[in-house]
Amino acid sequence: MGNQMLLHSAKLQHQYFMIFINASDPESEKMNIIKAAASLIKSDIKSKIGTKTEYPSVSDVESLECNEHYLPDSLRLFLNSLISTCNHSLKLSAIGQTIIQATRPRSLIAPLQIGLAVQMHHHFGSRFLIDSLYNMGFSSSYSEVQRYEMNAAMSQGTDIPEVTEEGNLQYIADNVDHNLRTIDGHGTFHGMGIIASVTPRIYEDKLYTKNRCKHRRTQRNWKN
């Protein structure tokens, strides 16, 4: 694989070297150089190993270092030469991953692309917003967010931690409807929620501050 990429790169360089020789004016030569650089960067992007069978991990999405190293060296060098602002790692990674996703839309899922889409869905829940960002190349699609959340729920499972055999666990679900029918057919809402009820109560003191733990223990002793 590596030898094939080196051979392909050498062919590209030879091809555009011949074009440079035949360039009739400086402007044509400049355009040929840009085309040569674009072809080399595109070749590096296509040689990147990617998959759509697994989503990026949370740590990959959150890490600036991982997101920057997701870019091929040639693309990272090119963007570093263009972006002049200080502390631009996130901006560089976002633009670079947008280029990678646009170059290979069906063979990989860039971490920041799915991360931004999931974040927008979490805060706003707007399909229009997410698909608008997707159409401009800045994020994954709304349908991809739905698949991601479905897979996340399945991978997390329905197990409730620290439930003993002596305990009782019951799931309660219900639905809610608002504006079942409207004049124009818009503005209706149907939702469903589910909770898990556990008895006896599970105490997780590690989630509280020391003062709150002391207060809860006092209440527990008072009840006894």
Q: Which of 10-14, 139-143, 189-193, 196-200 has the lowest mean pLDDT?
A: 10-14
Q: How far apart are CA 45 and CA 67, in angstroms?
A: 15
Domain span at residue 181 reads 165-224
Per-residue pLDDT tens over the stretch 17-58: 666 556 667 888 788 888 888 989 999 999 988 888 899 999
What single-letter DSSP state applies at residue 176? E
Asked whether residue 85 is domain-assigned, the answer is no
Asked whether residue 75 is domain-assigned, the answer is no
The confidence score (pLDDT) of residue 190 equals 86
Q: Where does the pLDDT of residue 82 fall: very low under 50, low under 70, confident under 90, or very high at 90 and above? A: very high
Q: Where does the pLDDT of residue 181 fall: very low under 50, low under 70, confident under 90, or very high at 90 and above? A: confident
Structural domains of the chain, count: 1
Helix axes 89-103, 26-46, angle to 10 degrees: 80
Asked whether residue 25 is domain-assigned, the answer is no
Per-residue pLDDT tens over the stretch 191-220: 888 888 888 876 554 433 334 344 444 344
Q: Where does the pLDDT of residue 186 fall: very low under 50, low under 70, confident under 90, or very high at 90 and above? A: confident
Which whole number is the average pLDDT over 1-28? Answer: 62
Asked whether residue 135 is domain-assigned, the answer is no
Q: How far apart are CA 5 and CA 135, in angstroms?
A: 31
The confidence score (pLDDT) of residue 214 equals 41
3-state SS assignment for residue 172: strand
The confidence score (pLDDT) of residue 117 equals 97
Enclosing H/E stretch for 173: strand 168-178
SS3 per residue for 24-67: CCHHHHHHHHHHHHHHHHHHHHHCCCCCCCCCCCHHHHHCHHHH
Q: Judge residue 156's burial from the number of C-beta atoms within 10 Å of its C-beta, 0-12 exposed, 13-18 middle, 19 or more buried.
A: exposed
Which whole number is the average pLDDT over 164-188? Answer: 86
Asked whether residue 207 is domain-assigned, the answer is yes
Would you state the structure tokens that stand for residue 157, as one six-digit string? 């499972």
Asked whether residue 186 is domain-assigned, the answer is yes
Q: Where does the pLDDT of residue 114 fall: very low under 50, low under 70, confident under 90, or very high at 90 and above? A: very high
Instruction: Say if residue 72's pLDDT is above 80.
Output: yes
Asked whether residue 218 is domain-assigned, the answer is yes
The confidence score (pLDDT) of residue 178 equals 85
The confidence score (pLDDT) of residue 19 equals 60
Position 153, amino acid: A
Measured distance between the N- and C-terminal CA atoms of the chain, rounded to whole angstroms? 71
Instruction: Say if residue 158's pLDDT is above 50.
Output: yes
Instruction: Say if residue 148's pLDDT is above 90.
Output: yes
Nearest residue to 100 via CA among 171, 166, 47 = 47
Asked whether residue 61 is domain-assigned, the answer is no
